[in-house]
């Protein structure tokens, strides 16, 4: 115990350390800028009422961790690039995927995923392509980032991408067994709860929440943990490799996903994929409903789009930049 007290003193801002049933519980007292402490605990992950890859609902126990209050913004990412000279994958290959509503009517068949265009020179500084910019979008979430781009940003700050379990635990905000980050009532149908797509995707966005594309982070109400846009606005990379049946045999404590070699997207079985969570401004009730807290989506890690970003976690109580 005395050694732990010494260590705590050395860290500067660790307030108290308790040893209970051989578990060491660290209670931090200094909050790193822009982050929120999520207490260790257990929760029910997944949903038996959701899509097949969300089943079965099962108990998960997690250590405490810090998580960003907001999605990483263009201003945040600009600072990273200015300090490190980092070049994103889409800047290197000079293209990225941009959503375009198909010029069809709801009566006509639409090919799945045909709403994505590979646009030359689309990247995080040019979200819609060469003629677009992030001027006056400093507080919008950064987009057109691959898994490696997102991970590089977090690592620069001595942080990590959240695990899928950390993301869902944080998104639920302490509520148990609910559908959305605010509870199970479909309040988003008549209140501006989260930036998503109103109307029939991919044809018609009624845009009643005021944002047909990304919104400045923090434009919608936070969940009970004080996290903004933890559902909606942009999908967020998490660190797990995706497998649709992972929940059937995932470990009880601190699950981290399957190994890369076991990742499986039944629609593209030869491509290992990471998970993305939380849904985006393109998620509607008739299509993916990705803003449900249990919703999961596979994504090829070197893909980048104008509706996927990220936030970071810190799994340590050491010093922060
Ligand atoms: Ca919207
Ligand atoms: Ca989000």
> Which range among 169-173, 183-187, 313-317 shows the weakest confidence by mean pLDDT?
313-317
Q: Where along the chain do its domains lie?
A: 2-71+154-319
Closest ligand by atom to 310 CA: 2
- Give the pairing of strands 274-277 and 296-299: antiparallel
What average pLDDT does the segment 132-159 reach?
98
* 263 alpha carbon – ligand 1 mean position (Å): 31
- Cα(144)–Cα(147) distance, integer angstroms: 10
Q: Is the pLDDT of residue 4 over 60?
A: no
Say if residue 23's pLDDT is above 90: no
Q: Which ligand is nearest to the CA of 234?
A: 2
Phi, psi of 67 (to 5 degrees): -140, 145
For residue 230, the model assigns a pLDDT of 98
Least confident of 15-24, 111-120, 139-148: 15-24
Question: In terms of C-beta density within 10 A (0-12 exposed, 13-18 middle, 19 or more buried), how is residue 40 classed?
Answer: middle
Mean pLDDT (whole number) for 290-312: 98
- Residue 39's alpha-carbon distances to 1, 42, 89, 99, in angstroms, are 22, 10, 35, 37
pLDDT in the model for residue 110:
74
pTM of the model: 0.90
Average pLDDT of the residues of the chain: 90
User: Which tokens belong to 136?
Assistant: 């006056």
> How close is the Cα of 277 to the center of ligand 2, in Å?
8
User: What's the gap in Å between 6 CA and the centre of ligand 2?
Assistant: 39
CA neighbor of 313 nearest in space, from 160, 131, 153: 160
| Helices 74-84, 147-156: crossing angle, 10 deg rounding | 70
Residue 29 has a pLDDT of 60
Decide if pLDDT at 14 tops 70: no
Confidence class of residue 319 from pLDDT cuts 50, 70 and 90? low
**Sequence-ordered alpha helix ranges (H) in 225-264:** none
Distance of CA 71 to the CA centre of its chain: 8
Least confident of 1-5, 124-128, 269-273, 303-307: 1-5
Which backbone phi and psi does 275 adopt, to 5 degrees?
A: -95, 145
- In CATH terms, 2-71+154-319 corresponds, of 3.20.20.70, 1.20.120.160, 1.10.1740.110, 3.90.1580.10, to 3.90.1580.10
What is the Å distance from ligand 2's center to 113 Cα?
21
- Please report, for the chain, how many H helices and E strands are present, in that order: 5, 13
What residues does the ion ligand 1 have nearby, CB within 5 Å? 195, 209, 211, 281
Cβ within 8 Å of residue 80, ≥6 positions away: 86, 153, 156
Q: What's the pLDDT tens digit per position in 204-229? A: 999 999 999 999 999 999 999 999 99
* Token digits of residue 245: 């049946």
- Exposure class string for 261-285: b at 16+ Cβ within 10 A, else e: eebbbeeeeeebbbbbbbbbbbbbb
Tokens coding 71: 């999605």
Of the candidates 195, 171, 177, the residue with the CA atom closest to the CA atom of residue 311: 171
How confident is the model over 50-108, as pLDDT tens digits? Answer: 999 999 999 999 999 999 999 999 999 999 999 999 999 999 999 999 999 887 676 77
Any idea which ligand is nearest the CA of 70? Answer: 2
Element (H, E) at 164: helix 164-172
Give me 131's structure tokens.
Answer: 């003629």
| pLDDT of 113 | 80
Q: What is the mean pLDDT of residues 36-59?
A: 97
CB-based contacts of 211, cutoff 8 Å, min separation 6? 195, 219, 281
Q: What is the DSSP letter of 135?
A: T
pLDDT given at position 217? 98
State the pairing for strand pair 65-68/58-62: unpaired
Ligand (nearest to CA of 279):
2
pLDDT mean over 132-139: 98
Lowest mean pLDDT among 17-21, 97-101, 197-201: 17-21
The secondary structure of 27-75 as a DSSP string is: EE-SPPTTEEEE--EEEEES-TTS-GGG-S-EEEEE--EEEESSPPBHH
pLDDT band (50, 70, 90) for residue 46? very high
CA of 96 to the centre of ligand 1 (A): 21
**Given pLDDT bands bounded at 50, 70 and 90, which one contains residue 318?**
low
Instruction: State yes or no: pLDDT of 5 exceeds 50.
Output: no
Cα of 180 vs centre of ligand 2, distance in Å, is 13
Residue 7 pLDDT more than 70?
Answer: no
For residue 305, is pLDDT > 80? Answer: yes
């Amino acid at each position: 115990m005395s050694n732990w007290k010494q260590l705590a003193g050395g860290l500067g801002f660790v307030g108290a350390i308790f040893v209970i049933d051989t578990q060491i519980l660290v209670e931090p007292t200094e909050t790193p800028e822009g982050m929120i402490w999520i207490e260790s605990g257990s929760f029910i992950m997944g949903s038996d009422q959701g899509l097949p890859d969300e089943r079965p609902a099962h108990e998960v126990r997690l250590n405490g961790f810090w998580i960003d209050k907001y999605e990483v913004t263009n201003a945040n990412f600009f600072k990273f690039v200015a300090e490190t000279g980092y070049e994103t994958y889409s800047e290197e290959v000079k293209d990225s995927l941009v959503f375009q509503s198909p010029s069809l009517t709801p009566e006509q068949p639409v090919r799945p995923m045909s709403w994505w265009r590979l646009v030359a020179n689309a990247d995080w500084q040019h979200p819609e392509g060469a003629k677009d910019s992030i001027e006056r979008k400093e507080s919008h979430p950064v987009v057109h980032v691959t898994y490696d781009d997102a991970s590089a940003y977090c690592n620069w700050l001595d942080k990590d991408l959240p695990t899928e379990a950390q993301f869902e635990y944080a998104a639920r905000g302490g509520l148990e067994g609910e559908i959305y980050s605010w509870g199970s009532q479909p309040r988003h149908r008549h209140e501006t709860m989260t930036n998503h797509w109103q109307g029939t995707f991919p044809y018609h966005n009624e845009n009643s929440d005021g944002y047909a594309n990304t919104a400045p982070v923090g434009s919608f109400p936070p969940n009970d943990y004080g996290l903004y846009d933890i559902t909606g606005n942009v999908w967020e990379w998490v660190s797990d490799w995706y497998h649709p049946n992972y929940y059937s045999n995932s470990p009880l404590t601190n699950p981290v996903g399957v190994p890369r070699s076991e990742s499986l997207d039944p629609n593209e079985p030869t491509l290992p994929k990471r998970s993305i969570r939380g849904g985006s401004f393109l998620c509607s009730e008739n299509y993916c409903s990705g803003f449900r807290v249990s919703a999961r989506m596979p994504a090829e890690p070197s893909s980048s789009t104008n509706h996927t970003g990220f936030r970071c976690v810190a799994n340590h109580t050491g010093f922060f930049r």
